[in-house]
């Protein structure tokens, strides 16, 4: 009789565990973590992703100087991540790389914003679409 009770207890425990785990898996990994399953909405999209005004600029006529600044900013971002991942962080170097990166990103953002203002001035009766919410 004890053997039969032990088997039923094991089966019941397994069934309860499967029900709880199945419910958790069916709900998905997004519980209180943003819209894409990770902790940061839009993290996987990178530059020119679907968020904000940059999504419509993929095929635009962007000057080569701005494209070069984008490439340089991406290289600086990689350098910054490499510097911050070292066991001994050179704070002065990290700060300098960060400042260079921010300066380039500000120049790029200023160019995009200027172009947006020019588009708005050329079409005064149209409104710009609101950025997508994360």
Q: What is the pLDDT of residues 13-23, one digit of tens each?
A: 888 887 777 76
pLDDT at 107 over 50: yes
Q: What local confidence, expressed as pLDDT, does residue 57 receive?
A: 58
Considering the domain architecture, whether residues 24 and 71 belong to the same structural domain is answered as no
In a domain, 22, yes or no: yes
Q: Which of 33-42, 84-93, 115-124 has the lowest mean pLDDT?
A: 33-42
**Number of domains into which the chain is organized:** 2
Q: What is the pTM of this model?
A: 0.51
Where helices occur in 28-122 by DSSP H, the ranges are 64-84, 91-122
Q: Is residue 47 part of a domain?
A: no
69/118 same-domain check: yes
36: left (phi over 0), alpha (psi -120 to 50) or beta: alpha
For the stretch 44-98, pLDDT in tens is 444 444 444 444 556 568 889 999 999 999 999 999 999 999 999 999 999 999 9
Residue 55 CA to residue 26 CA, distance in Å, equals 31
Q: Does 79 fall in a domain?
A: yes
Residue 14 lies in a domain: yes
Q: Which of 51, 61, 66, 60 is nearest to 129 (CA)?
A: 51
Query: What does the pLDDT read at residue 123?
Result: 80
Residue 130 lies in a domain: no
Tokens representing 13? 């425990």
Two tokens at 84?
């911050």
- Same-domain status, 22 and 67: no
| Owning domain of residue 6 | 1-28
- Residue 3 belongs to a domain: yes
Q: Which of 23-27, 29-33, 41-45 has the highest mean pLDDT?
A: 23-27
In a domain, 68, yes or no: yes
- 117 lies in the same domain as 69: yes
pLDDT at 56: 52
> Do 67 and 118 sit in the same domain of this protein?
yes
* Per-residue confidence (pLDDT) for residue 7, from 0 to 100: 84
Task: Give the separation between CA 54 and CA 48, rounded to whole angstroms.
Answer: 5
Residue 21 and residue 27 in contact, taking contact as beta carbons nearer than 8 Å: no
Q: Is residue 15 part of a domain?
A: yes
């Amino acid at each position: 009789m004890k053997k039969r009770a032990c088997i039923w207890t094991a089966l019941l425990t397994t069934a309860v565990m499967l029900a709880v785990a199945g419910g958790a898996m069916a709900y998905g990994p997004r519980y209180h973590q943003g819209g894409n399953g990770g902790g940061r909405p839009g993290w996987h999209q990178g530059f020119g992703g679907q968020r904000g005004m940059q999504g419509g600029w993929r095929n635009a006529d962007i000057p080569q100087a701005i494209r070069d600044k984008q490439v340089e900013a991406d290289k600086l971002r990689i350098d910054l991540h490499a510097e911050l991942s070292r066991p001994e962080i050179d704070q002065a170097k990290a700060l300098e790389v960060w400042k260079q990166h921010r300066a380039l990103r500000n120049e790029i953002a200023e160019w995009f914003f200027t172009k947006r203002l020019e588009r708005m001035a050329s079409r005064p009766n149209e409104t710009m679409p609101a950025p997508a919410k994360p």
